[in-house]
Structure 1
Amino acid sequence: MKKLSIILAAIAISGVTYGAQLELKGGFEPWREGNNSYSNFDNGGSLGAELLFNAEDRPFDYGFGMEWKSKFSGGDGDNVLADTKANTFPIYLTGKYGIGNDLFYLVSRAGWSMYDNSHAKDGFYGAAGIGKEFGNFTLEALYETMDLSGSSKMYSGDRANLASIKFGYRFGENRRDVISREKEMAAKAEYEKQQAEMKKLEEENKLAQESKIEEQNRMAVENEAREMMLKKYNSLIVVEKYEINELDSEGNNELLFNDMDSDLAKESGILTVSSYTDNSGSEKYNKVLSQKRADKVADKIKSNLTNENIEVISEGLGETNFLNANETPKERKANRRTEINFIAK
């Protein structure tokens, strides 16, 4: 018996190491009765241990156990235990199946009983009942039967029947709970990952929206600046107050000539140079004179302009498009001018 106990203890330690649950049990047996002889025994108690493995896909636990039962005493009749007090040691396989979402579970045992006296022979042991889990604690109610004659027959003449209440405590974690927790943790991790990805996406969208708004604002500022620049080159006087019959004038806008290249560096279009005269002299002469003035200004613009996407056109319009009544010398001098007009594509 000592050697068997050592072997069972070693098996139990190995089982717990590799994920099994160890359940220590204790209980009492308010009813003990012998078979056929109608021999009633005194109440007794039991201590034991079970090593249980958990099915992963259904509420089923299985394993093996060993139990010590207190001596049978107080019996009468011809039962082999009636006149000889004996301890019993059932060793058994057990199975437990959960019912109703673990509302309770069914218990069954099948194994062998050993006795510590010469009158009783080792024989069949079986049990069935129900149980309930309360966390790591268990409560079971069992009907047990033990063959005392060594015949291993369920209904032999020498058999003890018992009703028992057992309390237990389990060490180790149920494999189904581990899997459920792992799934829950995996689901939580996946949810957190999705939330993080959604948050990242929202931040990226926010940054993209902010960047888009900034780009729109920048483009709006650039467009506004461009419109102002284009408006600047709309009918802009670059040379004014020509002296009569002269092609040059001290009224040159030299600063404008210098700025024009940078202002129009990214533009594409047509720059028209238009020159006007007063009504002094013949119309034909004024036409020729204005063309010469326009050509000279156009040549100067071309020499300063590096953007090849701008076409410069000169035109002499003579005595047209007066700015005033053109009656006094001062008014006539003001009408002698050259303008530029830029039309972007």
Structure 2
Amino acid sequence: MAISVKDIEVKKALGTWKPNAYLSNMCMAYFQQGEYAARELFPVCPVGLSSSYYYEFSKGDLARDNVQRKPAFGHVAPAIMGQTDKTYACKVDQVLVGIDKISALDYTRSAAPGSADPRRAKVKFVAEQMNLHQDLLFAQNFFKAGVWKNEWEGAATANAAAKKFLKFDDSNCDPVGLFDGLINEVRRVGRRKPNKLALGVDVFAKLKLNHFIMERIKYTGTTANPAIVTEQVLAQLFGVEKVVVLDSTYNDAPVGTDENMKYICDSKSALLCYTTDTPQIDEPSAGYIFAWDMLGDGKYTATSQFEGSPADHTEFIEGLIATDMKKTSDDLAVFLKNCVD
């Protein structure tokens, strides 16, 4: 015999209703702890079309001294300010997760706590998937060997001509001196001082133990507050605005197999770059996240809910994202691979 909502309310009032209730003060969900990296490092540039062009003015023409002595009764030749057209193309990615409306009825009728609400949990799941996907795209497009023209490699012997540096866990490696040189080179070639440094988790761990870094900060601590190496300390030592540790993780295993958890970004690499915090006219950036509002509502990530076919008795939560993570200036970045053993 079916139990109606009114029957449940009566039993609850009498104190005889004993459902298989879920705990309201805890649940297990391995959502990412901390920030995802993509938007921390590269600015999101909203675009009105899924694919189009943008201008790039010639750095050589802008940096050349075109001012000449004016001849008597005449004028100098007009200066050249060249430009080229570059393109972007945002592709739409989607994730779907279903809600069984028949099973969900038990949660509704028994007034189950919010932690057990399938709609609430799956909306959060979709949002997590959007963030996870963006970090994976970031790793594929920005944080790997072979992407950037200016690429250095850790080695047992330093050789600037071959773009080799001592690994950070080498007792003779001075990371501050290394980054001083790299920053000056980017500033010379790209006309901007790098402002952000992304570190793989193993790189960050070794920098915290580096002898040269510890020597620089050892007198800054007290008994109550000993000197420790944090992202903020490294930012001050290296002369950048922000140091970001790339510690987000993902499961590399297909459905139905044992999980295989990995760091999304190469744990032994680093990226030094200049990027704007927000898109700006007449301002270069090592890269941009071009973002298209595929539904015309001003959002490049969208979450919606819709009904399945009547016989399925199912609702779906949908997530959409449309981006193009594009390198826009090789002159404003240095990628460092194999930074540690």
> Which TM-score band (shorter chain)?
under 0.3
Q: TM-score, normalised by structure 2?
A: 0.17
Which has the higher Rg, Structure 1 or Structure 2?
A: 1
Normalized per residue, which structure has more strand? 1
